[in-house]
A and B are shown apart, each in its own frame.
Chain A
Amino acid sequence: MAVWFARSRNLVSSLRHNLCLSTILVKGDYSHHRPIVSTCQLSPTVFLSPYVSSLRHESTAVEKQPDLVQHSDEEDVLQELDFPGGNVGCTSEMKFIPESSSRRIPCYRVLDEDGRIIPNSDYFPVSEKLAVRMYEQMATLQVMDHFFYEAQRQGRISFYITSLGEEAINIASAAALSPEDIVLPQYREPGVLLWRGFTPEEFANQCFGNKADTGKGRQMPVHYGSNRHNYLTISSPIATQLPQAAGVGYSLKMEKKNACAVTFIGDGGTSEGDFHAGLNFAAVMEAPVVFLCRNNGWAISTHTSEQFRSDGIVVKGQAYGIRSIRVDGNDALAVYSAVRSAREMAVTEQRPVLIEAMTYRVGHHSTSDDSAKYRAADEIQHWKTSRNPVNRFKKWVDDNGWWSEEDESELRSNTRKQLLQAIQAAEKCDKQPLKELFNDVYDVKPKNLEEQELGLKELVERQPQDYPPGFHV
């Protein structure tokens, strides 16, 4: 590529003068048949193309960044200026960096839509054992989502959020992490908790808010948390976990732990101020954090075209000094490899990394949403069927001879049974005792809460008909 730049230098400079183009940048192109000259910004990415595939494992390193503005003529760089922040060359040519590249950052993928590995792909090999476990968990997540969604429709739980269409992101990312990595989720990542060993019973307990719920029934369904599994409790406000992840990562760094913080966000969440805060802090503090953005196209009814004007999220990483990659979020092998690489970089280099996983939200935003109101039925159907990440990975696992239809039906029927039992048991389970309303506001109950608890107990005893039954004092 360096050679090709040299050859094109004169071409570019003459073009600039002849065509009076205000910005001419030379783009690296692996089909080195013709130079591409455009008025657009050079894409600063790792190109995993057939041309560089021979550098299979070296490609996980960052490619040396070509200049954003290509100075093909040395005489343009009149001098270096030493402003605070470092030396910067100056130019008398007034050039604006264009608002977008002519070509979007490409998406890293390993498996094609038919579940076949694309020749010469870079990826971490996945053993049969790991692959089968990954597939089983993706399928389990699907079944779990259907069961809990239906339970909400039947009025047995108040609310639910599915992760349909995002099973590869959920499971493959979890598989690529170590159990010591601290996870700060948004709310569409229960698969990470599932991978780490949270049981169907535990999921059900939280959704029912029963006595066995370790969250003690305080939050809406799907707001899981488990300190045993290093999965911080979910909160509804969007993106608040991002600066917290920077703090978590910094703590791990200071303790010299072989672990990083991993935090998830959707496309919508990247518009929040906390996204900016989180990335900037992680970069400045050089904290080992993997930021994983699930760009699924929709923030409730708001399509990404109404969310930002950038080329998605991946391009924002460099603005913070953060290494970034865009990955096909429906490709389990690509997600696995990208997350694994990112995690290694984060831990060994003590830096944040940004992953934008492209995907589609097949389900509604939540049980309070009917996405048919704002999206086309055939669009949903397309992503549910021909672009389904679970089927795609299944094909690959199948083709390797690691999975059969017997395995499939056995898994599905066992999982259904397990979930049915879990939901039934959770529903029958006792409610939380009333005292849990007043505990844990502080480490020790203050006087005002002691008084309020006494007052409420007396009230409930006097007028039990005003209150739902089963909450023992």
Chain B
Amino acid sequence: MAALLGRSCRKLGFLSSGHGARRTVSTETGKSLNLYAAINQALHIALDSDPRSYVFGEDVGFGGVFRCTTGLAERFGKNRVFNTPLCEQGIVGFGIGLAAMGNRAIVEIQFADYIYPAFDQIVNEAAKFRYRSGNQFNCGGLTIRAPYGAVGHGGHYHSQSPEAFFCHVPGIKVVIPRSPREAKGLLLSCIRDPNPVVFFEPKWLYRQAVEEVPEHDYTIPLSEAEVIREGNDITLVGWGAQLTIMEQACLEAEKEGISCELIDLKTLLPWDKETVEASVKKTGRLLISHEAPITGGFGAEISATILERCFLKLEAPVSRVCGLDTPFPLVFEPFYMPTKNKILDAIKTTVNY
């Protein structure tokens, strides 16, 4: 993964990671961009390619609190790129209305921690809009973007990973990119996908991750997981910023002779069971890691599914290395997080089971 944190690991005392073996998706070169710049590029392309697309949310007009919407209002006008009142249920409801009329509504929720007022609109309205109407209506043009995840100092309300709530809702899609190049392609897919999508962006990577991002319009398919590191002894599954940590753990495990296969799920709903299943049938071991609290986290769904499909191939119980079952703490963040060493320990335990 060229999107290396390199010098800028989390403030948790990690070593700089080297370059591990990785399978490249594309050998195309592009410009060196960070995550927010890549997302910004995707938004420019989206608005340019469809005159009936809109970007709105709190503070997006001046470029957004994370600069993802820089330059959009100037280029496409305030009728298409605008600030909204501070009201998430209004933002998403308004977006559903726009999408119901055939527009692409690319909505920003300022932090995933604040998405809950819109939960009713997302779950009861957006997710069911097509189904309940007998396909007479749909709001497929709706894409909801929100920064998620730990940032080192975010505490309860600037660090959450709420993906599990949304993975339980038939009718929407949930997508989480791991890097700038992935984010641009996935976001464009989400915007053009004829279903409402929730797109969680790992805020930790907005500046920290830098990668070559092709400048043209390209998409990365949804519901296709990617094996980003091949191995034989154990399969690791993750998404978003956590993959960087998992990759570091894989590198260290390799030094001890454990060959790890690392999979980026990318789309959590509907998720690519086949790729994970094929990998676990090869390795016989599965470890899932996510920042969100372990109980009821999406790792539980992956674990249960793989158990059903791969039971006789498993050499060890499925391992989950996740956040603790607490609100996301401030000073205790280093203890709460699923760290590289926690993952490494779990890899070894699983392999030695």
Q: How far is the CA of A443 from the CA of B129 in the complex (A)?
A: 11
Whether B223 pairs with A446 at a CB distance below 8 angstroms is yes
Whether B132 pairs with A218 at a CB distance below 8 angstroms is yes
Q: Which residue of A lies closest to B173 (CB)?
A: A442
Whether A232 pairs with B137 at a CB distance below 8 angstroms is yes
Chain B residues closer than 8 Å to A213, beta-carbon distance: 134
Whether B97 pairs with A273 at a CB distance below 8 angstroms is no
Considering the complex, which residues of chain A in the window 415-469 have a beta carbon less than 8 Å from any beta carbon of chain B?
Answer: 439-443, 446-448
> Which of A235, A277, A446 touches B89 (beta carbons < 8 Å)?
A277
| Nearest-Cβ distance from residue B181 to partner chain A, whole angstroms | 25
Of A38-46, A153-161, A221-229, the one touching chain B: A221-229
A312 interfacial contact with B, CB 8 Å: no
Q: How far is the CA of A440 from the CA of B93 in the complex (A)?
A: 21
> Which of A225, A252, A447 touches B134 (beta carbons < 8 Å)?
A225
Whether A251 pairs with B98 at a CB distance below 8 angstroms is yes
Whether B132 pairs with A242 at a CB distance below 8 angstroms is no
B194 interfacial contact with A, CB 8 Å: yes
B128 interfacial contact with A, CB 8 Å: yes
Whether B273 pairs with A447 at a CB distance below 8 angstroms is yes
A367 interfacial contact with B, CB 8 Å: no
Q: Which residue of B lies closest to A245 (CB)?
A: B97
Chain A residues closer than 8 Å to B134, beta-carbon distance: 213-216, 218, 225, 233, 440
Of A64-72, A278-286, A400-408, the one touching chain B: A278-286
Size of interface on A: residues with Cβ below 8 Å to B:
47
Q: How far is the CA of A443 from the CA of B94 in the complex (A)?
A: 21
Chain B residues closer than 8 Å to A242, beta-carbon distance: 93
Given A247-B93, A280-B90, A443-B138, is A240 in contact with B120 using a C-beta cutoff of 8 Å?
Answer: yes
> Which of A227, A243, A441 touches B94 (beta carbons < 8 Å)?
A243
Whether A247 pairs with B96 at a CB distance below 8 angstroms is yes
Chain A residues closer than 8 Å to B234, beta-carbon distance: none
Chain A residues closer than 8 Å to B82, beta-carbon distance: 285
Whether A244 pairs with B96 at a CB distance below 8 angstroms is yes
A346 interfacial contact with B, CB 8 Å: no
> Which of B93, B98, B135 touches A274 (beta carbons < 8 Å)?
B93
Given A218-B131, A440-B130, is A244 in contact with B89 using a C-beta cutoff of 8 Å?
Answer: no
Given A215-B133, A439-B135, A447-B270, is A244 in contact with B87 using a C-beta cutoff of 8 Å?
Answer: no
Whether B98 pairs with A250 at a CB distance below 8 angstroms is yes
B319 interfacial contact with A, CB 8 Å: no
Indicate with 1 or 0, residue by residue over A180-202, a CB within 8 angstroms of chain B CB atoms: 00101000000000000000000
Q: How far is the CA of A249 from the CA of B93 in the complex (A)?
A: 12
Chain A residues closer than 8 Å to B129, beta-carbon distance: 233
> Which of B90, B96, B99, B136 touches A233 (beta carbons < 8 Å)?
B136
Q: How far is the CA of A232 from the CA of B171 in the complex (A)?
A: 18
Q: Which residue of A lies closest to B195 (CB)?
A: A442
> Which of B95, B124, B138 touches A240 (beta carbons < 8 Å)?
B124
B100 interfacial contact with A, CB 8 Å: yes
23 contacts between A and B (CB under 8 A): A182-B101, A215-B132, A215-B134, A218-B132, A218-B134, A233-B136, A237-B125, A240-B120, A243-B90, A243-B92, A246-B93, A247-B93, A247-B96, A247-B98, A247-B100, A250-B94, A254-B79, A274-B93, A284-B84, A285-B82, A285-B94, A442-B173, A443-B130
Question: A244-B97, A254-B79, A281-B87 given. 4 additional CB < 8 A pairs?
Answer: A243-B94, A245-B97, A439-B135, A447-B223
**A-side interface residues toward B, CB under 8 Å?**
182, 184, 213-216, 218-219, 223, 225-227, 232-233, 235, 237, 240, 242-252, 254, 261, 273-274, 276-278, 280-281, 284-285, 439-443, 446-448
- Top 7 nearest A-B pairs (CB, nearest first) are A247-B97, A243-B93, A277-B90, A244-B97, A233-B133, A251-B101, A216-B134
